[in-house]
Amino acid sequence: MPMLPPTILLIDDDVAWSETVIDTLASEGYAAEHAATWEDGVELFRVGGHELVIADYDLRDSKNGLRLLVTLKRLRPSTRLVLISGALPVEGQQLAAHAPTVDLFLVKRTTIIDDLKPELESAVERAGRNADWTKVASAYLAQGVDNDQLTRIDQELRDQVDRG
Amino acid sequence: MMGHFYLEPTALVDWAVGRASAAPAPQQAASAGIDRLVHDPSASCAVAEVGLVEVHTSLCKYLMKTEPDFRAYDGPWMDACLEDVMTWLAAGHVQMLPHAPGLFETAMRHVTAATREHGRKFRSWDALHLAHAVWWARSIGSMVTVVTDDSAYATFLGLYPVFGRFVQLQSPSTL
């Protein structure tokens, strides 16, 4: 009987940090994989199986960090999206936490896996069973995004990162 | 023939059709190729439940045909084909893949993406088989060969090359 495929996707251009996170996840029994660019992240996500995406806001190649999440959400509304950043001040962190498509915002730090524990456990649980269509349908219906609001928040976050 | 092989239904139907003495040469070649493959201990072969349903449906279509060219595709032919498939499964020559969680959601996404992003058609059953094969490949961390004669897969992989990291295609007649 095959094991579960990777259920967690980390999108972050900090390769060394990402490798540490992936290794730590693996040592704790979580199947995760890494994409270093926006494009790779979307392509890898496309093949399926990811219940949880952890994406860095400040990807070098991404002009619009939140757009990445919108694209992922459109591809699979039921996947949980965690936005991370080590560059946002407290005000920006609060803004990011309430941005459309963001299910959870976390500060990027070495202990992030502890912060992610509930999300990780939930992802593994979802990956091992058939889809809960009540939740899938609810996520589908909730995926509509106010583009003006998204652009406004994204610009504000970008400004805060640039100022920082 | 080392590797992992996902037996897509069109390949299995070719195999079944090719067993009849008057079968066209490509199906006969497919039949011989798949027989070799499933009995090769270095090959790990798998099917999906939805694939078996499709095979049953296709064999029944042959059974219903009344034209003289299809006389060989009768009840005993169908029984023999299904008996062989069940023998492969019972002996472990072919494994039945578990129903992958999220399979249908993933397949719907493939169908929609092909049309909305590229204006191309990708049928639901084909999307399900691709999702199954990719799921298997990612689960075992190894490339899976989808044995098929259906050109829809090559078209889809052309649109989305990322799938080529996990699956490759091979015609049953070249096995």
Nearest residue of B to residue A128, measured between CA atoms: B101
Percent of chain B with pLDDT over 70: 100
Task: Check whether A133 has a pLDDT greater than 90.
Answer: no
Query: Chain centroid to CA A136: how far?
Result: 17
Task: Give mean pLDDT, residues A88-105.
Answer: 91
Q: Kindly give the residue spans of alpha helices, DSSP state H, lying in chain A.
A: 15-27, 38-46, 65-75, 90-97, 112-127, 133-141, 147-163
DSSP letter at B21 equals: T
Looking at beta carbons, which pairs linking A102-105 to residues 24 or more positions away fall under 8 Å? A102/A66, A102/A69, A104/A80
Taking the CB of residue A82, how many other CB atoms lie within 10 A of it? 22
> Of A145 and B78, which is predicted with more confidence?
B78
CB contact under 8 A, A48 and B134: yes
CB contact under 8 A, B163 and A47: yes
Residue A137 contacts B where some CB pair is shorter than 8 Å: no
Taking the CB of residue B22, how many other CB atoms lie within 10 A of it? 10
Closest by CA to A65, choosing from A125, A105, A17, is A105
Task: Give mean pLDDT, residues A135-156.
Answer: 82
| B114 interaction partners in chain A (CB closer than 8 Å) | none
Q: In Å, how far is A69's CA from the nearest CA of chain B?
A: 16
CB contact under 8 A, A47 and B104: no
Instruction: Specify the range with the lowest mean pLDDT, choosing from A5-19, A137-151, B158-172.
Output: A137-151
Percent of chain B with pLDDT over 90: 89
Task: Check whether A2 has a pLDDT greater than 60.
Answer: no
pLDDT of residue A143: 73
Task: Give mean pLDDT, residues B68-86.
Answer: 93
pLDDT of residue A118: 95
Residue-wise pLDDT tens digits, B128-152: 999 999 999 999 999 999 999 999 9
Percent of chain A with pLDDT over 90: 45
> pLDDT band at residue A1, thresholds of 50, 70 and 90?
very low
DSSP letter at B75 equals: H
| B106 interaction partners in chain A (CB closer than 8 Å) | 48-49, 76
Q: In Å, how far is B18's CA from the nearest CA of chain A?
A: 31
ipTM entry: 0.77
Residue-wise pLDDT tens digits, B13-33: 999 999 988 889 999 999 999
Residue A3 contacts B where some CB pair is shorter than 8 Å: yes
Q: Which residues of B49-81 are buried (b: 16+ CB within 10 A; e: fewer)?
A: ebbbebbeebbeebeeeeeeebeebeeebbeeb
Closest by CA to A93, choosing from A73, A109, A75, A77, is A109
Residue-wise pLDDT tens digits, A61-77: 666 578 888 889 888 88
Alpha-carbon gap, residue B114 to B119, rounded angstroms: 6
Alpha-carbon gap, residue B46 to B24, rounded angstroms: 26
